[in-house]
Amino acid sequence: MDVPIFNSTIEIDESVVTESTADIRAQIDEYERGDRRAFDLEIITPDGLLGEVMTAMAEIPYGETRSYGDLAADLETSPIAVGQACGRNPVPILVPCHRVVGSDGDLNGYSAADGVATKRRLLEHEARDQKTVQTRFLTDS
């Protein structure tokens, strides 16, 4: 299914998500509005390295990034293998492959939608939202 987000369209393989397409779309809309930071969807991950990388990506907190090398070290594989698995992620955004960057912070590609431009918009959205939350906490104190 194609999902519009931040002036791009991202393809999501809904066959690996147990909830309905309406639920998927609703949660992505909430994410785009800034009302959702984590997805409450059951995703069926494949066996092997792709599943391991997807699980590791799903654990990256909202608004944070990890490098391909960080994930590779955790999974005892190579950064190239992690990058290839990121590129095969069937559910971008839901499993946040946009949060995986190069060791120098470079975005280094994105397989969904408009590539790096979309990855940048997603990361900027999360960073902006993080600052809003931090500002709220500071003013509420």
97: annotated active-site residue: yes
Determine the Cα–Cα distance for residues 116 and 124; give it in Å rounded to an integer: 12
Q: Six-digit token pair at 124?
A: 């900027």
Determine the Cα–Cα distance for residues 112 and 4; give it in Å rounded to an integer: 11
Q: Which of 57, 60, 71, 97 is catalytic?
A: 97
Active-site residues, by number, are: 97
